Chains A and B, each alone.
Chain A
């Protein structure tokens, strides 16, 4: 017991963030230890049995492109795959998978155990060891200590966790597990500030007690493809369905009857819960006139006898849950197997980590997942991946990986998170991404495969395959730009007949494709392009058509991207010696000299500059005369 075991990287926690962090670290060659309180519940999905959706699905695609595990794991273990928002446009189109929770966990646990350089141990970490503001190791409740160079904490909802069910509450974590006691106090003792957040989950009911035959069935899409590039054209022939039902007056009546037992009314819980996923009692308090709320009934696995009641999240007591559930059409006789509950846990207070996931307080410490104030498996996995990558890059003395919000949803996520100061967990949606035409679901590899390869999580073979695919699409786009159709009688006749308009002068393939109703297929026919030189795969054709058809919008988005990327590249702290800087208010000027933010784009987003100030700042930084800057706006007196 005298010799303490030493690892390059230790990961605390085996949830979705911890798994990605540990795998990334081990795959990049560092000897890594993952410590979890319970090996059985590694990669647990304690809430909804699904992965993906608008924004979230984008994250999973990007995790796959960068060489992370979640995308592969869900592709292998889903019971349903569905396309969402196809009619609303390419920028918000995304996939959502229903998971087999049990298979997902099993596959992830196997992956961890098969991974070279990676040890997995069960135990509860109670202390971090810090010396001179540098992380040195961890101490377990057994008294065992491990030393490390880098520590990644992914504690989920476990830190000082408290389960709340009506008036009752007790120390505990999801699935009747133990709360993690001690680690929060140790973090605080080392200068890190904590806060309380809460979330909740709905009841699970016995499948055979639900009358699914009278409910609307929601099947998946056979041709939705998977999240990983390799699975992009995969057909999921065998799937199982979800079902849809609605609350009505009876349900609202039942909620009202028990409202006095709601933790929200009892105020025995912090109010800082997820706005995007309100409990049924919160919905009623906030939208009292609304009677019809959707309830999705989701399977938890191929063979699972449990059904998840999406939409009935609550921390109200069991008797209330019985009343509410049985008031819903199809659930009249439903047997509740596990009650819903609310959970309150410790997370970091805002502003304490960089968008690389490294702590601003302790060197060598990284955090990812719910401890950083997010909600969702996909958000957690993304941060775990970035934390793992950056822990290794810094170990090797390399520049950190700064994901840019102009290039990925992961970039949007970590950028938003590092400045997130709201009293609620953060969830990604397309609304957070201002460049979402560029950050399309289908373009994940085109944007990120080089990053993945450069970092080392994408093999040479995989990179070559994806690169060839990318090149094929891009060269065909170029050829669409260069090929042109002359207004021959034949061409004009075809175009008029197919209702795509007359052709008065020569037009390029791209110009033709931009006409309403035109497809790649119809354009190559008009151009008589030899079929062997054309794209045939549906995903490649989709990428080409979307790129060309929306080029005008993408170009305008690009102009804004340039400005944001320029500002992102100016890392803080930053000193300027230029007289014109006086135009900027002192307080903003002083913030630029501190490391409160990672870069200038964050200051702009946090409204530290007026438009005029920004115009002047940009002109100083780019060495130009002020552009679009009207002096009368500020010097009018």
Chain B
């Protein structure tokens, strides 16, 4: 209906600056019209064929000025990254050449692509769904091999397919239900509630596993948070500095120096970790410390695992006891570290009993290898090394998944207790939220599906 045309965009797709080769991408309906004007190639092959490479020159049409000798790769819509006609122009990697080629393209009908516009077009043209877009983004920004491998797993589309499958199953149930709701009881059979319940239970259990995998996935992409707690001056900051190999936290002899939580990234055995140095658990003497202590509590809550640090060179006091009590009630992995092993040991022998204690000297580096091994073991024991099953989702996608699960649980437990029209509200919400997980924007028309499947007479 609309006469508005989609325009053609171009941009440098490799990092700016001097390189052996730079690549400029052009995408849109006019891609090849523009190239016909500015790209001169010899040979007998027609230009463009799908998925072909051409050697030639970029020439300014008005002046005949040759900007560069290039290789142009051609992709015809819809079989391209963006789903549109697309060309990749590989030029020599000189910024002057690149900018000349781009300006020739712009003068002949292309427009500078905005940030993310190629991917946006791919998404809009149905070449990628949201899970894949998210994965691509993670892949580009991955800082460890683990993160990159995880992102690559998503790009093969398995998580998308899973969500699409679950959504399809739910949609089937919804259509059955809606058919019964849209027509009077005298013209359509009533639905089998126990079959519906069974089906929802099965879907729920699969989806819960997926949800756990997604949460693990975001652990990996954000880095596993490890909180370091202990009384002031137990050596938390020194421990962190040793692990990071540099002086980040302020280390002094004055207790309470670390007033805020400090966060640092660290890669151990290809696993991204985020170490969070906390302000300690002690009675705050001023507001700033009180804020710090509140943050400590929060850091512990959000952490994947907690390192409890105790000063081995002093007898325990009530602050140590407070830390110990805190560690005892955590339902997450805890590593207990007795620091300052280079000094005479005065901490009571049985004080840390019940925990597997690692004795270290953060200052001298003693026992640190063992600590790192234990950290690695914790990561592995929690089953989050199984990258093949892990799912990468953005925050809004996890949120949608969460909402879908809530609605489904409500529906499942409601069967038999609440009216079917309410059930359908929950099912519809679940279908809608699952659609948001992989970015299906087309609203489903359940009415159409009803008429496809049921012979309605009244």
Contact = CB atoms under 8 A, between A and B. Distances in A.
Interface of A: 53-55, 84-85, 87-92, 96, 218, 244, 275-278, 283, 286-287, 290, 293-296, 310-311, 429-432, 436-437, 516, 550, 553, 556-557, 582, 585-587, 590-591, 596, 605, 607, 610-611, 628-630, 632-637
Instruction: For the complex of A and B, list the 9 residue pairs with the smallest distance between their C-beta atoms, beginning with the closest.
Output: A89-B419, A636-B137, A89-B421, A635-B116, A91-B421, A84-B184, A587-B4, A637-B119, A630-B396
12 contacts: A88-B181, A89-B422, A92-B420, A278-B455, A290-B455, A294-B457, A310-B458, A550-B422, A610-B439, A630-B395, A636-B134, A637-B116
Contacts of B2: 587, 590-591
B114 interface: yes
Contacts of B439: 610-611, 633
B420 A89 contact: yes
Contacts of A431: 178, 181-182, 446-447, 450
Question: How many interface residues does chain B have, given as a range?
Answer: 35 or more
A632 B119 CA distance: 10
B442 interface: yes
A55 B140 contact: no
Given A610-B441, A633-B133, A637-B116, A553 B455 contact: no
Interface string B335-361: 000000000000000000000000000
Contacts of A287: 455
B425 A54 contact: no
B421 A436 contact: yes
Contacts of A310: 457-458
A520 B68 CA distance: 84
A616 to B, nearest CB: 12
B303 to A, nearest CB: 24
A218 B185 CA distance: 12
A90 B421 contact: yes
Contact of B420 (A88, A311, A607, A636): A88
A193 to B, nearest CB: 13
Given A218-B186, A275-B451, A431-B182, A53 B396 contact: no
Contacts of A586: 4, 6-7
B396 A85 contact: no
A556 B182 CA distance: 21
Given A218-B186, A591-B2, A636-B116, A607 B455 contact: no
Contact of A628 (B119, B396, B457): B396
A591 B181 CA distance: 36
Given A586-B7, A633-B394, A634-B123, A87 B182 contact: no
B321 interface: no
Given A55-B182, A84-B184, A294-B457, A633 B134 contact: yes
B123 A632 contact: no
A557 B425 contact: yes
Given A88-B180, A611-B439, A311 B458 contact: yes
B120 interface: yes
A290 B180 CA distance: 18
A23 B140 CA distance: 67
A582 B134 CA distance: 21
Nearest to A628: B396
A244 B116 CA distance: 62
B215 to A, nearest CB: 17
A15 to B, nearest CB: 22
Nearest to A290: B455
A553 B422 contact: yes
Contact of B394 (A429, A632, A637): A632
A561 to B, nearest CB: 13
With most chain B CB atoms within 10 A of its CB, the pick from A85, A296, A311, A437 is A85
Given A87-B419, A633-B439, 10 more contacts: A84-B184, A293-B455, A430-B181, A582-B114, A585-B6, A586-B4, A587-B2, A630-B396, A633-B133, A636-B134
A276 B456 contact: yes
A596 B1 contact: yes
B119 A634 contact: yes
A429 B182 contact: yes
Contacts of B183: 54, 429
B187 interface: yes
B130 interface: yes
A591 B3 CA distance: 10
Interface in B123-148: 123-124, 130, 133-134, 136-137, 140
Contacts of B185: 84-85, 87-88
Contact of B186 (A244, A429, A432): A244
Nearest to A629: B396
Contacts of B181: 54, 85, 88-89, 91-92, 430-431
Given A89-B419, A611-B439, A632 B137 contact: yes
B229 to A, nearest CB: 32
Nearest to A590: B4
B381 interface: no
Interface in B150-177: none
Contacts of B396: 628-630, 633
B436 interface: yes
B286 interface: no
A636 B133 contact: yes
Contacts of A277: 456
Nearest to B455: A287
Contacts of A54: 181-184
B287 interface: no
Nearest to A604: B443
A294 B119 contact: no
Given A218-B186, A633-B134, A610 B124 contact: yes
B310 interface: no
A248 B195 CA distance: 28
Nearest to B414: A553
B122 to A, nearest CB: 9
A534 B397 CA distance: 48
A92 B451 contact: no
A414 B294 CA distance: 56
Contact of A430 (B133, B182, B186, B394): B182
Nearest to B135: A636
B99 interface: no
B181 to A, nearest CB: 5
B32 interface: no
B417 A516 contact: yes
Nearest to A274: B451
A610 B443 CA distance: 11
